[in-house]
Structure 1
């Protein structure tokens, strides 16, 4: 917006106040309160923020869902066709979810503390704090009775949840990294 004010001042050879009013009118649709299904309908922010966060979360959700479904189906068929003990795998998966929960909670607290400590407000920081704060609870969706299930869905869903959790954390880390990079570049905070 600042660059647009300067460009308007130079192009039309007018003063700052006139250029500011013209630019403000031009940018006003971007500051209307909006919401996105990808961010959750409860979060109402200016359209410019919601559009950016919505694009980030749409990519995150769709890629995570696709990777989880394809990976879980491939893993399920691989385990079904091999002689591996699938019950043993689900036993370790169920026991390992508490380790995943603890590690993800520590990472989330560390990242959240860093975002809050910098006091720099970025779209990436907002997106991280709003969308990934409950991520450690995702590990609790791994079904403890999956090893006793003989149906496809009873064994498919825990694998899908695990893969989705891992890919979601990958995207959460990417969003956190973008926030840190943006803060270092524009706010000069270390």
Structure 2
């Protein structure tokens, strides 16, 4: 048995009330709920309203608003969105930690230090990379599609403020640097990787919009 357009619209309205407007998840969740309702109508010989009520009981825990320390308690989304966001972000998070600790531990081990690094012409490279990262981040921040939600967009939203502040701090930090060592090189690598990670999710966000043919 297939649901009518009116019945499917009721399921759509239910998803709207649960804030399931993330386009990379909505179609999948809608299909699952519709299939579950159809199966219950056939197997249990019940009405649409009864089957829909059972389906909502099953899905309510997955669709309730939630937060995560992983992204910050100030950013909430349906639980199913948080779960997918964690799944797509955890590798980037591991690499982010590695981008700081690997150069920090290595250079600290060899007692690497350069006094007054701003006096060296090669230091221009650090400034250049920092400026390029800052410009790239601003571009992605301005031109990201905010009208449409995706799981990747949620990750971007949760990371935007910290990345922006970090890049500003980095830019100020490197204008008054008196010693180059494992700590500040680790910080530099972290924020460069932050820009790369932000670009990764920016690209995924744009691809999700194109995939579902929504502009």
TM-score normalized by structure 1? 0.73
Mark the CA change 1:120 to 1:104 in structure 2 (over 3 Å): closer, same or farther: closer
Using CA pairs under 8 Å that are at least 6 residues apart, name the structure with larger relative contact order, 1 or 2.
2
Number of the residue aligned with 1:23: 55
Number of the residue aligned with 1:42: 74
Number of the residue aligned with 1:109: 142
Paired residues, number: 177
Which of 14-23 and 159-168 deviates more? 14-23
Aligned-pair CA distance for 1:57? 4.0
Mark the CA change 1:133 to 1:170 in structure 2 (over 3 Å): closer, same or farther: same
Aligned-pair CA distance for 1:125? 1.4
> 35, 40, 52: which one pairs with 1:6?
35
Which structure 1 residue ranges, 5 or more long, are not aligned?
none
Distance in 1 separating the partners of 2:109 and 2:69: 33
Distance in 2 separating the partners of 1:79 and 1:91: 19
Counterparts of 1:112-127 in structure 2 under 5 Å?
112=144, 115-116=145-146, 119-127=147-155
Residue by residue over 1:51-79, the C-alpha shift from the partner in whole angstroms, topping out at 9 and shown as x without a partner, is 22334444333321112221344466689
> What is the CA RMSD across the aligned residues, in angstroms?
3.2
Distance in 1 separating the partners of 2:181 and 2:100: 13
Aligned-pair CA distance for 1:86? 8.4
Matched, 1:189 2:214: yes
Residue by residue over 1:131-173, the C-alpha shift from the partner in whole angstroms, topping out at 9 and shown as x without a partner, is 1245243223333344x33xxxx62222112211222222222
Which structure 2 residue ranges, 5 or more long, are not aligned?
1-28
Residue by residue over 1:84-117, the C-alpha shift from the partner in whole angstroms, topping out at 9 and shown as x without a partner, is 998237843663334432343223322x2xx12x
Detail structure 1 runs of 4+ shifted over 6 Å in the superposition. Answer: 76-79
Which of 38-47 and 129-138 deviates more? 129-138
TM-score normalized by structure 2? 0.66
Residue by residue over 1:24-77, the C-alpha shift from the partner in whole angstroms, topping out at 9 and shown as x without a partner, is 100111122221001101223321222223344443333211122213444666
